[in-house]
Structure 1
Amino acid sequence: MTTTTASPSIDDPPARAPTTTTTAQTTATLTRLPSFQPELYTRAWSSIPHPTLPLIATAHAKSVTVYSLATLSKHSALTGGHARSVRTVAWQPSRGGGGGSGGEQQQKSRGSGNQRLGLVTGSFDATAGLWSFDGDRDRPGGGLEREVRMGGGDTEEEDGGGEEDDKEWEFNLVLEGHENEVKSLAFSPGGQYLATSSRDKSVWIWEDVSAGGNGDDGEEEDEWETVAVLSEHDGDVKAVAWCPSHLSNARAASSRRHYSHDVLASASYDDTVRIWREDADGEWVCVAVLEGHGGTVWGLQWETKERSDDRFPRLMTFSADGSIRVWTLKVDEEAERLEAEEAAAREGNPFRTGFGGMPNTMRRSPREEWECTAVLPKVHTRDVYSASWSADTGLVASTGSDGIVAVYAEQEDGTEGDNSDNSSGAKSSTWKVLSTIPRAHGPYEINHITWCKRFDSGAERKGKEEMLVTTGDDGIVQPWQVQVQ
């Protein structure tokens, strides 16, 4: 992160701060679990859990360390692909996965029934790299999925002291085009598109055009081409995120039909967030600009828990102004009704297009109206670098340069409060702080926080219950047990 603090001596380990909880009607207790091993002893930027397997990938230095969530120890490592530090990482969904979300995809291995593991890395060297895991090829009796679910990767004795870790991951392809470091990257839910953002103020959208082709060695070849360069931000683009596409309700499906299936959001140093969609001509256009933050928007996340009110997913943003905001798409009920009637009347029309079913000469302007419907209670005193929205419980966790970890809960109250707005048609709610932990990594800044499933021996319901994982400048990847009372 751009904000720095004095680095304590390496001989002075971070203090293990006690847990503190609020005195509200609902509280949460965060218990520090054993940290992932080995510790990295260098600044770590983020840790991204695999959507289906018990693995989590941590970006640090010029490499990525993949840890097992079952053993809380090293599974494998990616090294040698970048000339400078790896800033960000994302797991690759399966090819041709259609509209399923990344969490629903089962990544198949090349020509076998095993899973194929793929990662993309973004680096300060201005490139993105595509990797695949080949370490399960020579392992008898079940390959990757069996090996991972039984408890994680090779031991140091088995792999000759770590050299084999590098050989297990193959660096397949480098994507070049950005002028400065790649800040963020994300795959669309079906895996067709990859979005990358950079300090050069641009967002690039790449399309997978591999089409299942094989190289001379019989392996699938990675082939990606640039389909859009979005340059409307006035500052560094800190983060990109695709809206999940697992929604099944009719209202959300109707909203998506107006434009394209995939929806992308980007956050910037210019204090704004932009929403992007693909129009009928295949052009990616900005359909909304979200303004309200008073500082750099460090990141964003789409709501992944399906809503009971049939509304389009909300968007959470977090900023250098210390705030966390929730944005809601305004729904024009009358326009939706008229469009539904028009679509029904045009059924079978040979001139019907994919853009809301309208002929080219009758298209709506691709604009959307979003509004800030909640500002979470103020906790952070400095930049909020990261926040994560649980797909299971709807709880939000946040952290940042002040070293605080906070957990929040949303409670529907049926009334209009200070941090709610009913003009979007959404149910009114309030957010409450359940728990805060100061100095969660001692004196070090915390760069990332995420919810992920527990698979370790201490979990009562492996693969079901959630934990938090924080990643900091101290090089520690720290899991936390979360208990809500």
Structure 2
Amino acid sequence: MDKKAAQISPLAALKPDLYQRAWASVPHPTLPLLATTHANQVTVFSLATLSKHSVLAGGHTRSVRAVAWQPAQPANRLRLVTGSFDASAGLWTWDDDSTAAAGLEREVTLTGSGGDGNTDEDDDKDWEFNLVLEGHEHEVKGVAFNPSGQYLATCSRDKTVWIWEDVGGAGGDGDDDEWETVAVLSEHDGDVKAVAWCPDVPGRKGRYSADVLASASYDNTVRIWREDVDGEWVCVAVLEGHEGTVWGLQWEPTTTTGNRFPRLMTWSADATMRVWTLREEKEEEEDQGEDVSGGESRLFRSGLGGIPNTMRRSMREEWECTAVLPRVHTRAVYSATWSADTGLVASAGSDGLLVVYAEEAPQPAAATGIENTAAAAEKNGEAEEEEKKGGAWRVLGKVENAHGPYEVNHTTWCKRFDAGAERKGEEEMLVTTGDDGVIRPWQVRIS
């Protein structure tokens, strides 16, 4: 059977070039907007016009390294959070009633958009710097909202992860911006580079806590955090295996096998990418003991089996590395992205490579023509084990020197809304961000 391959072709770069090192570009979850961090500001690009939409400036005194869009916002309101090396996180709001009538859900027609020579003063006039979240002692390196937008996680060089809760009602009119700290997590032994909340995956079993957080650190580990029955956040697993700084992580955006808990992908300075899977045991249906936790008598279960709700504090989960992607990078992998539409993964790093991978289910031994011998039985066993691990990964294509001689700091999948798209808002492209300050889209065709 012929192996599929990816043709990765450059599209026109977003304009204007930033002319300075850019760190990350994060697409809005539903709108044709892309937020890019560079220097002490953020430039928002329109994915419809491939040009500058607006600028967020004046809120931070040092480099902005991280940005995240808050989900579940009203149609006429945009909000995002920035994380800066000035040790703070900032909340920004674009509030413009005209955007609702303009059909922002489909096209960007916000006032002030478009790379048309407007001054920065004109561009950023509609972004309001609402609130500064302070508490970290050193640089804030990562920020992430949970799926509902109620919680925000920030992480820092001070080796901590902070969890903040929106107690002002962000889904309302925006007049009461109030966030309070609900947890400070300090079990990492090194700088915490990135945080990621597990997505709301359809069909996910309710025996898991509503929100799950993962953090990646310079101590070469990843930690999994859950909220216990007392409302306290506890570390339930430490993922060890990388031999260098874990630069980032992303949860599996969709699952294909029943109600399996989403897997987690991590990437590292050791030039490898790993996939981790929660080891689950069969769910017990019977109740045990007296009714507890306000009438909820079912057991809370983790990788170690049934644990009563009243004992969640001592819960520990077993996670295992079930895949190591083919090693293509020769230096640190700075960024990777996992597509919810196709399941394809792309990675980029300090070696300038852009690589696309696909996961394939193992081919049954019967289809390979192997006779029913001891060797075939062993092959079958290997195939079964691979199937449990989620299949095998292989490289579909790569681009060398994706940003010329410059390092590639970030890559992400995002929807196409530009004039060249065949199916606007449906087909995907890759976007890379590099030290050259250029935001480069890429078309990926599988054949």
The code of the aligned residue for 1:379 comes to V
Equivalent residue number for residue 356 of structure 1:
300
Spell out, residue by residue over 1:344-386, the C-alpha distance to the aligned partner (whole angstroms, 9 max, x if none): x978995537973986656583110000000000100000000
Quick one: which of 84, 87, 99 aligns to 1:126? 87
- Residues 1:350 and 1:278: Cα distance change in structure 2 (over 3 Å): closer
Equivalent residue number for residue 472 of structure 1:
434
The alpha carbon displacement at 1:221 in A equals: 1.7
- Residues 1:448 and 1:361: Cα distance change in structure 2 (over 3 Å): closer
Please give the alpha-carbon distance, in whole angstroms, between the structure 1 residues aligned to 2:341 and 2:251.
Answer: 14
Contact kept, 8 Å, 1:373 with 1:421, in 2: the verdict is no
Contact kept, 8 Å, 1:277 with 1:285, in 2: the verdict is yes
Q: Specify which structure has the bigger relative contact order, considering alpha-carbon pairs within 8 angstroms and separated by 6 or more residues.
A: 1
Normalized against structure 1, the TM-score is what?
0.82
The alpha carbon displacement at 1:311 in A equals: 1.0
Please give the alpha-carbon distance, in whole angstroms, between the structure 2 residues aligned to 1:368 and 1:287.
Answer: 6
Equivalent residue number for residue 264 of structure 1:
213
Equivalent residue number for residue 407 of structure 1:
356
Equivalent residue number for residue 101 of structure 2:
142
Normalized against structure 2, the TM-score is what?
0.89
Contact kept, 8 Å, 1:70 with 1:151, in 2: the verdict is no
Please give the alpha-carbon distance, in whole angstroms, between the structure 1 residues aligned to 2:422 and 2:110.
Answer: 16
Worse-superposed segment, 361-370 or 164-173 = 361-370
Does residue 229 (structure 1) correspond to residue 184 (structure 2)? The answer is: yes
Contiguous gaps of at least 5 residues in structure 2: 302-306, 365-377
The alpha carbon displacement at 1:341 in A equals: 1.5
The code of the aligned residue for 2:134 comes to E
User: 5 Å matches for 1:15-414?
Assistant: 25-94=3-72, 107-108=73-74, 114-134=75-95, 136-137=96-97, 139=98, 142-143=101-102, 145=104, 148-149=107-108, 153-155=112-114, 160-211=118-169, 219-248=174-203, 252-256=204-208, 260-333=209-282, 336-337=283-284, 340-342=285-287, 350-352=294-296, 356=300, 365-413=314-362
Tell me the matched-pair count. 427
Contact kept, 8 Å, 1:67 with 1:76, in 2: the verdict is yes
3-state SS of paired residue (1:281) = coil
Please give the alpha-carbon distance, in whole angstroms, between the structure 2 residues aligned to 1:430 and 1:423.
Answer: 11
Contact kept, 8 Å, 2:102 with 2:109, in 1: the verdict is no
Please give the alpha-carbon distance, in whole angstroms, between the structure 1 residues aligned to 2:227 and 2:295.
Answer: 20
The alpha carbon displacement at 1:229 in A equals: 0.5
Does residue 430 (structure 1) correspond to residue 379 (structure 2)? The answer is: no
Please give the alpha-carbon distance, in whole angstroms, between the structure 2 residues aligned to 1:115 and 1:174.
Answer: 23
Contact kept, 8 Å, 2:25 with 2:410, in 1: the verdict is yes
Contiguous gaps of at least 5 residues in structure 1: 1-22, 95-106, 109-113
Please give the alpha-carbon distance, in whole angstroms, between the structure 2 residues aligned to 1:275 and 1:421.
Answer: 29
The alpha carbon displacement at 1:124 in A equals: 0.5
Contact kept, 8 Å, 2:10 with 2:442, in 1: the verdict is yes
- Residues 1:269 and 1:349: Cα distance change in structure 2 (over 3 Å): closer
The alpha carbon displacement at 1:396 in A equals: 0.3
The alpha carbon displacement at 1:427 in A equals: 5.4
Aligned-residue RMSD, C-alpha: 2.7
Contact kept, 8 Å, 2:160 with 2:186, in 1: the verdict is yes
Please give the alpha-carbon distance, in whole angstroms, between the structure 2 residues aligned to 1:191 and 1:277.
Answer: 17
